[in-house]
Every structure is written in C-alpha cells, then in structure tokens.
Amino acid sequence: MKRYALLCISGAVLTAAALCFAFLVAPRIDSMGDVQRIFYFHVPSAWLSYIGFLIAFVSSLCFLFQGKEKFDLFARVGAEVGLFFGYIVIITGPLWARVSWGVWWKWEPRLTSMAFLVLIFTIYVALQNVSHEKATQKLAAVLALFGTPSIYFVHSAVNRMQGLHPKNVVSQGLNFEMRLALYSFFFAELCLFLGLFALRWNGLKAERAVIQMKKRLSKMEEER
Amino acid sequence: MIRSGKLFCALALLFPALCFASYDEAMGKRHLLIAYALFWALSFAAIFYFGLKGRQIKNELSKLNERLQALEQKDRAEEETKAQESRSPDVKA
C-alpha cells in the first residue's frame, strides 16, 4: 500500500511538471501549430509500449526454456500493459495526422508496422484469455517471440523507408525545453506503467490461484 | 486519498483547458484537446478496469477458500465418525 501511495504521489508530481513544460514552457512550432504538442505524450507512450513488449519477449523466452508459470504471467502482464500504451499511440497518432497531413490514416511504413505490432499483441492477449492450458501458453510465447522483433522495423521504418511520418528527432532536433517536456512526460507515464503493471500482476496471480483452487475443489468433489 | 485523486483528475483536465484559452491561434487545438482527453480517459479506464478485475478475482478466491475449508471440515468430521464407529464394535466385544 505504501509503494502504491509513493507511486501515486511521484506520478502526480511528475504529471504536474510535465503539463507545465508541455503546455507552457515548450515553444510552439509554427509550421505545425499546437497539435504538435501531442508529441509529448505520443512518443513516451510508444517507448513504453516497446518496453512492455520487450518484457513479454524476454519472459516468453524464459518460459519456453524453463517452463515456469511465473514467466508466463510476467510476459502476459508486460504484453497487456505494452498493448495499452500501444493503443494510446495508435489513437493519438491519427489526431495529429489529421491536422498535419489532412488524413486520419495513411498506409505508410511507420504506421503500418506499428499497427502490425499492436495487432500481434492483441492476438497474444486474446490467445492467453481463451485458455489457460500449457499448449496455449506455449503458442502465445512463440507468438511474442516472433512479434517483438517488429519493434526494430517500427523504429527504423522512418529512417530506412520514405514515408510521411516525421523522422526520429529526439536525438537531434529538440531544444532544451522540448526535451524537458518530453522526458518529464516519459517519467510520469513510467509511473502509470509501473502502477498498471503492479495492479495487473496482483490480479493475474489471484486469477491463477482461483484456477488452481477450482481444480483442487473439483478433484475433492470427484473423490467424494 | 480518494479526495486527492479526484482533485488531481480535475487539475489534470482543467490545466490544459486554461492553457488553451491563452493561445492565439486555433491551429489543431481541438485535436490536441481530444488527444489529451482520450489519453486521460484511457488511463483512468485502464486503472479502474484492472483494479475492478483484481478485486472481483480476490472476492472469488476468498469464496472458494471458504468452500474448501467447509469441505475439509466435513471430511474431517466424517473421518472422526468413521473412526468412532470402528472403535465402538471393539468396545462391545
């Protein structure tokens, strides 16, 4: 409970700072207008979705090699939280595109590869919800192993292929105020990520305990 | 805690609205506001959904625990009566 409170307080403070930096301190880019400020929560959401999917990747690998249930749980939580941030990216992106490009969606490399990545992990989560059998868990782990490398394509799509999406500007094209806004939003969203992770982890652990308890009960009733 | 949470939500939603009011041009303001509102709505929905699901599962777990304990007690009681019955013919003999 203390940890949750600490996370809530740090998240609130960071969000307040991020809001100040993003809406008051960071300058407006005249060629794009105010809609460019979507960038400050669109990009950190994409980073956090990558982190979630990478957690799912590493845990799935461990699950396939060691077969321990906790790795499968960890992968599932990583995928679900990563998917949540992936949906934020997919939803906020078209709102920016509508003003900048004049269309909601364009089948260009970055957008298509991100949609593909989100689709893979949507299937992963759906598969994990269908059944709790070992075979399904293994199939989902294999899906995560094949799906996660798409992050590389999503990241490099703007630099290697011609598209409408802006290039990766974080390393060069931002001034100090913009960086401050971006990173403060990243850390605020990281608190949200950790909070959601802890909530889902506890929930899924309890779900597994319920399944085991039901099995034990049905066995006892059969013996009677 | 709940009161401070509500205050935080209100501030998080009100603050950008006040900032927008001070902007000169309307270039993409509406889309920015929609994106920002959706971000918060989705975040709170996720927290609420995960929290609610976790609580439901914990309730189910405690009910199952009670059922298991009741069954175990019943089993123990049956075993005791069986043991008593098996002991009673010896006493008679």
Q: Which residue has the higher pLDDT, A2 or A145?
A: A145
Q: Is A166 exposed, middle or buried (0-12, 13-18, 19+ CB in 10 A)?
A: middle
pLDDT category of residue A45 using cuts at 50, 70 and 90: very high
Q: Is residue A51 part of a domain?
A: yes
Sign of CA dihedral A27, A33, A39, A41: positive
User: CB of B52 within 8 Å of any CB in chain A?
Assistant: no
Lowest mean pLDDT segment, chosen from A49-53, A56-60, B67-71: B67-71
CA distance linking residue A109 with residue A131, whole number of Å: 34
pLDDT at res. B6: 62
pLDDT at res. A54: 95
CA distance linking residue B21 with residue B13, whole number of Å: 13
Residue B18, domain extent: 2-92
**How many structural domains comprise chain B?**
1
Query: Do the beta carbons of residue B40 and residue B12 sit within 8 Å?
Result: yes
Contact check, Cβ <8 Å, B19/A84: no
User: CB of A135 within 8 Å of any CB in chain B?
Assistant: no
Residue A87, domain extent: 13-22+34-223
User: CB of B12 within 8 Å of any CB in chain A?
Assistant: yes
Q: Is residue A8 part of a domain?
A: no
Q: Which amino acid appears at position A191 of this protein?
A: C
Question: What is the 8-class DSSP label of residue A105?
Answer: -
Contact check, Cβ <8 Å, A217/B29: no
Q: Which residue has the higher pLDDT, A24 or A32?
A: A24
Q: Is residue A93 part of a domain?
A: yes
Rg (CA), chain B: 31
Torsion region of A161: left, alpha or beta (phi above 0 gives left; psi -120 to 50 gives alpha)? beta
Q: Which residues of A118-138 are buried (b: 16+ CB within 10 A; e: fewer)?
A: bebbeebbebbeeeeeeeebe
Contact check, Cβ <8 Å, A202/B39: no
Q: Which amino acid appears at position A200 of this protein?
A: R
Considering only alpha carbons, which residue of chain A is nearest residue B51?
A: A199
Contact check, Cβ <8 Å, B8/A95: no
The pLDDT mean for chain A works out to 86
Considering only alpha carbons, which residue of chain B is nearest residue A35?
A: B28
pLDDT, average across residues A76-93:
93
Q: Is residue A7 part of a domain?
A: no
User: Which of B11, B46, B51 minimises the CB distance to A84?
Assistant: B46
Contact check, Cβ <8 Å, B12/A15: yes
Q: For an interface test with B, which of A7, A9, A20, A23 has the most B Cβ atoms less than 10 Å from its Cβ? A: A23
CA distance linking residue A153 with residue A151, whole number of Å: 5
A174-216 pLDDT per residue, tens: 788 888 888 998 999 899 899 889 989 988 888 888 888 888 8
Residue A208, both tokens: 């597994």
Contact check, Cβ <8 Å, B38/A99: no
Considering only alpha carbons, which residue of chain A is nearest residue B28?
A: A35
Q: Is residue A166 part of a domain?
A: yes
Considering only alpha carbons, which residue of chain B is nearest residue A11?
A: B8
* Phi, psi at A105, each rounded to 5°: -145, 145
Lowest mean pLDDT segment, chosen from A117-121, A122-126, A158-162: A158-162
Q: Is residue A6 part of a domain?
A: no
pLDDT, average across residues A121-128:
93
User: CB of B3 within 8 Å of any CB in chain A?
Assistant: no
pLDDT, average across residues A77-101:
90
Lowest mean pLDDT segment, chosen from A71-80, A91-100, B6-15, B36-45: B6-15
Considering only alpha carbons, which residue of chain A is nearest residue B1?
A: A5
Place of tokens 């260009």: A108
Residue A21, both tokens: 């930096």
**Whether the complex's predicted ipTM surpasses the cut of 0.95:** no
pLDDT at res. A153: 85
Query: Do the beta carbons of residue A110 and residue A70 sit within 8 Å?
Result: no
**How many structural domains comprise chain A?**
1
Q: Is residue A28 part of a domain?
A: no
Residues of chain B below pLDDT 70: 1-27, 89-93
For helices A69-100 and A134-147, what crossing angle results, to 10°? 40
CA distance linking residue A37 with residue A43, whole number of Å: 11
CA distance linking residue A214 with residue B64, whole number of Å: 7
Instruction: Give the H or E element holding residue B28.
Output: none
User: CB of B41 within 8 Å of any CB in chain A?
Assistant: no
User: CB of B13 within 8 Å of any CB in chain A?
Assistant: no
Q: Is residue A162 part of a domain?
A: yes
Residue pairs spanning A and B at CB distance below 8 A:
106
Query: Do the beta carbons of residue B30 and residue A37 sit within 8 Å?
Result: no
User: Which of B5, B15, B32 minimises the CB distance to A19?
Assistant: B15
